A and B are shown apart, each in its own frame.
Chain A
Amino acid sequence: MTLLTVEDLTIDFPRPGGRSGGATRPVRGVTLTVEPGQTLGVVGETGCGKTLTGLAVLGLLPPAAQARGSIRLDGRELLGAPPSQLRAVRGGAIAMVFQNPATAFDPVRPLRTQFERVIRRHRGGSREQARARAAELLAEVELHDTDRVLGSYPHQLSGGMLQRAMIALALSCEPRLVIADEATSALDVTVAQQVRRLLLRLQHAHGFGVLFVTHNLGEARDLCDRVAVLYAGEVVETGPVEDVFTAPAHPYTKALLAAVPTVDDDGAPLASLPGEVPADVLAVTGCVFANRCRQAADLCRSTPPPARTLPGGRSALCHFADPEVAA
């Protein structure tokens, strides 16, 4: 059974005062699935809706946001579920690893207190049991000096150590799904690589599914089984990660991949993507990418593209997405 199903998720931020003009819709009809033990990468640039999608799954959208659609964990609907039910799910069946561990932990309490709270909240038991569990978890994320780490305040630990501790905390209640939002972006390159390896090892050992939100395409390639590429609030392409990266079907995915400077490139000017995301996507009549797309035709400017299903479990939101052309 599919672990997480996000179906036709749309998030609106209405203009204060109830006026209809100026409302924003940062997420528009997003559909994603995460299978048990698999990693789905949600990749895209600033403002594409990737973080809001992750927050919606956790029921952590800002109060002003209005979400529609469906978010199901193991078939149970989470969107619109009562707060008490969501509190039980958050930190329990669904855990979150945030980008900046230095701000995600409470700065005025030692880690021990924060571990105890989460563990006892979800699993009950005594303080001693919670501490034992915390020590066990830290060992699992390769923080072996457990007494020192648990006795430390967040500012006393390095970024890499804190992110490991955050992952340990996320695993404390044996989650079925881990949402990692830019989990390595604040870390040094070599530390980030250790954390990526750790995540893969832990996933292998525990079998949780991962929704991996990142702007880093290379990282998505290393960690994910499948990817969903978001642009201006829509999923423009999905598929198995290697297929999407070696033969992208959507012009945006192609442009994004071509824009990454690499260690091995030949020094020719990078293929930068001209223009910007339209300021008001709701006013666009056709495809929202048409204004930046090299392949845009009249059809693209007049008619929104359908989600085309392509062979190999892929799909692309483009009138001209053609797996043969792409491959």
Chain B
Amino acid sequence: MIPDTPHTPDTFDVSGVPAVLRVQDLVVAYGQHRAVDGVGFRIAPGESYAVVGESGCGKTTLARTVLGLLRPAAGEVALEGVRLDQARGRDLRALRQRVQIVFQNPFAALNPRMTVARLVDEPLRLAQPDLTAAARAEAVSALLTSVGLADRFLGRRPHELSGGQCQRVAIARALAMDPVLLVLDEPTSALDVSVQAQVLNLLADLRQHRGLAYLLISHDLGVVRRLADRIGVMRAGRLVEEGPTQQVLHEPAADYTRALIAAVPGRGRAALMGGPEAGDEAGSGAAGGPAPGDGARADPSAKPAPAPASGAAAVPASELSAPSSIGSSQ
């Protein structure tokens, strides 16, 4: 794991190791609307960075830009030191290969007419066109093994798999391109709790064994806690807070971060009714400027209530000492 060095997004190279991903002063606009508005961060090799935020905050736009699917209006995106935003044609395709994505809904991400073997073989042909059929078959089998799927799944199609198995296939496809960075866009939010745990454990193992870096997009702070070394909290196109996971979750600096943490259910009824009004803070606009598509902001019911100095302050003292989450309480 990479030690938490002081973070300076505008510095090219802090530790002597080029960043896997460096995003600087990034602006991505749809017409007049700046969906991403001056975002900067870097991801070191093997590091896992989570972008947390609600609908419309720009996190998906950010991910698409990092994948080279959207062109920024301003700013830089560099992969291993090479400017993705300036690359064209063959260079861009070669760079894109280094970043792969795992989508939220694995059923929608896999071609229903293909068998598991073909689904994993497809990217492998692109990544390594010189391999023989036999060598590819071996590689497909090895990739599936690495995501915990036995060879008996080779002939199956997506509808014959569970959600967790589909997501494993999607991960194997991403790994087939031998990326340095995996973009994980809500990778477990379509999965059941017990399956989610399996996939989270798998993702943690893969990172450790392959030295992969992750850009995790999520709204689930429990998932983020589990997978990320650092967190950037995004709101209305900007990063409102950034830091090591533990620090952001336990000593949040921004009101919006506190509101997000307070909105995690599972602390019991007293805490639910006693905590700060997260939505009100969401409506008060830390980053200013209205953003279309943001439900909390558009909600006229959001009253301008003064934000409490600390999210924890409004929670009864008894809740502070108790584990605030159901999973650790048994």
| Best-buried of A46, A159, A264 by chain B (most CB within 10 Å) | A264
Besides A190-B281, A248-B330, A263-B264, 8 other A-B contacts (C-beta < 8 A): A148-B300, A161-B300, A188-B54, A197-B273, A222-B269, A246-B329, A265-B325, A269-B201
The reply to whether A272 and B197 form a contact with Cβ atoms under 8 Å apart is: yes
Q: Which of A258-291 contact B (CB under 8 A)?
A: 258-267, 269-273, 276
The yes or no answer to A106 lying at the interface (CB within 8 A) is no
- Chain B residues within 8 Å of A, Cβ to Cβ: 54-55, 162-163, 192-198, 200-201, 204, 219-223, 225-226, 249, 259-269, 271-273, 275, 277-279, 281-282, 294-296, 298-301, 323-330
**Interchain CB contact under 8 A, A247 and B330:** yes
Task: Identify 8 residue pairs between A and B in the complex whose beta-carbon atoms are under 8 Å apart, listed by A's number.
Answer: A45-B193, A191-B296, A194-B277, A218-B264, A245-B326, A260-B222, A261-B200, A272-B201
Inter-subunit contact A200/B298 (CB<8 Å)? no
Residue in chain A with minimal CB distance to B56? A188
Task: Check B277–A264 contact: CB distance below 8 A.
Answer: no
Question: A259 touches which one: B196, B262, B268 (CB < 8 A)?
Answer: B196
Could you tell me if B197 and A192 are in contact, using CB atoms closer than 8 angstroms?
no
Contact assessment for A188 and B219 in the assembled complex, using a CB-CB cutoff below 8 Å: yes
Measured between beta carbons, the chain B residues less than 8 angstroms from A270 are 197, 200-201, 226
CB-defined contacts of A254 to chain B, threshold 8 Å: 330
CB distance from A17 to the nearest CB of B (A): 22
CB-CB under 8 A from A219, the residues of chain B are 265-266
- Of all chain B residues, the one with the shortest Cβ separation from A269 is B201
User: Is the C-beta of A221 less than 8 angstroms from some C-beta in chain B?
Assistant: yes
Pick from A145, A258, A261, A273: contact of B223, CB below 8 A: A261
Given the complex, which residues of A lie within 8 Å of B325, measured CB to CB?
218, 260, 262-265
Verify A193–B279 contact, CB threshold 8 A.
yes
Q: A132-145: contact bitstring with B at CB < 8 Å (1 yes, 0 no)?
A: 00000000011111
- Kindly report which residue of chain B lies nearest to residue A189, judged by CB atoms: B263
Secondary structure at chain B's binding surface: helix, strand, loop or mixed?
A: helix
Inter-chain contact A215/B193, CB cutoff 8 Å: yes
The distance from the CB of A59 to the nearest CB of chain B, in whole angstroms, is 28
Contact residue range for chain A? 35 or more
In this assembly, does A164 line the interface, its C-beta being within 8 Å of a C-beta of chain B?
A: yes
Q: How far is the CB of B329 from chain A (nearest CB, A)?
A: 6
Residues of A within 8 A of B267 (CB): 218, 221-222
A193 touches B273 (CB 8 A): no
Interface residue? A256 (CB, 8 A): yes
Interface residues of A in 142-157 (CB under 8 A from B): 142-145, 148, 157
Query: Taking A218-B325, A221-B268 as contacts, is the C-beta distance between A258 and B330 under 8 angstroms?
Result: yes
Given A188-B55, A190-B54, decide whether A265 and B204 contact each other with a Cβ distance below 8 A.
Answer: no
Min Cβ gap B199→A in Å is 9
Which residues of A have CB within 8 Å of B278?
189-190, 193-194
